[in-house]
Chains A and B, each alone.
Chain A
Amino acid sequence: MNAIIVEQIVVTTLRNCCLNNGLSIEIKKDTSLIGSNRVLDSLGLVNFIVDIETAFLDIGVEISLTSENAMSSRISPFRTVGSLCRFIENQLGLVNG
């Protein structure tokens, strides 16, 4: 597991979620997941979070995006694709600090 695979999983999962909602957009690291420019509605975000957890589980990697850490962070890890990738990399111990 490395940062590239994390990003691939996150981007692929988000792309599929968007397609399921009839959205065909280019997904970049600064693509917003919450806020006024978000690409998914609130239910779409919930499904996306669940799909991310399951996508990692499908390759034998356990992460929890509903952990206390994720949900109570002062700055949400769900702001953008990039911030979510960094949060997952942290959970998996792929980055220091």
Chain B
Amino acid sequence: MDRIILITGSRKGLGKLLCEYFLKQGDIIYGCSRRNASIEHSNYHHFNLDVSDESAVISMVRTIYKIHRRIDILINNAGIASMNHFLLTTFSTAQKIFETNYYGTFLMCREVSKFMSKQKKGRIVNFSTVAVPLHLEGELVYSSSKAAIEQLTRVLAAELGPNNITVNAIGPTPIQTDLIANVPKEKIDKLIQKQSLKRLGNFEDVLNVVQFFIDENSNFITGQIIYLGGIN
């Protein structure tokens, strides 16, 4: 049976690549982003929304449920970053980052897991970053929002485990996407030197971990954060 997969932040970057990959596998994908869709496919359905808009998230998730009566997989990819020294970070920037990264993940998890709880089955994959364990300077708010996602991942794993829902997170290294487009090359190079495996990550590295988390055989894997590149 085709899987019903919800992927947030699907207009570009990793989210778009994940959508395209799973579409090729024959899955039915529901994506969302603040701007219009960039994917055209008969099995791709797009919602224009801000993941921190509670009513919009509720409406999207209920729409999917009403059509399919199930949601198999949720991939919380949507995220924004802002690199700056703590002393130069505005409060509104901090709020925006937490709204999209943490509250967006929180809302999607809450609404989707309601239906996963009913079906007593589900897979949730969240996105963290190696910036959390590396305590990177200049990434306080971004990495704090991701640290919050890690904690959410572990607690949800415990709370949703009885309903056979697994919740895990991947912490990618820098990957050549828009998210790091404005980060100076020296900073990226310095970060890569902290990894055991000293290279940029790529989409296939992320896909490999996502596939592991959502695999039917991974039903005993939950509450885990897997970092790429040998970071721990």
Contact = CB atoms under 8 A, between A and B. Distances in A.
A50 B114 contact: yes
B62 A62 contact: yes
Contact of A54 (B58, B110, B114): B114
Interface in B94-144: 110, 114-115, 117-118
A47 B117 contact: yes
Interface string A41-78: 00100110011011001001010101000000000000
A62 to B, nearest CB: 7
B52 to A, nearest CB: 16
B162 A57 contact: no
B65 interface: yes
Contacts of B115: 54
Interface residues of A, number: 12
What DSSP secondary structure best describes chain A's contact surface?
helix
B118 A66 contact: no
A57 B65 contact: yes
A55 B114 CA distance: 12
Contact of A57 (B62, B110, B117, B163): B62
B190 interface: no
A57 B58 contact: no
Contacts of B118: 50-51, 54
Contact of A47 (B62, B66, B163): B163
B122 to A, nearest CB: 12
A57 B118 CA distance: 12
Contacts of B58: 64
A57 B69 CA distance: 10
Nearest to A54: B118
A57 B114 CA distance: 12
A81 B134 CA distance: 50
B74 to A, nearest CB: 15
Interface string B157-191: 00000110000000000000000000000000000
A57 B115 CA distance: 11
Contacts of B163: 47
B109 to A, nearest CB: 12
A47 B163 CA distance: 9
A43 B162 contact: yes
15 contacts: A46-B117, A47-B163, A50-B114, A51-B118, A53-B114, A54-B65, A54-B114, A54-B115, A54-B118, A57-B62, A57-B65, A57-B66, A60-B66, A62-B62, A66-B110
Interface of B: 58, 62, 65-66, 110, 114-115, 117-118, 162-163
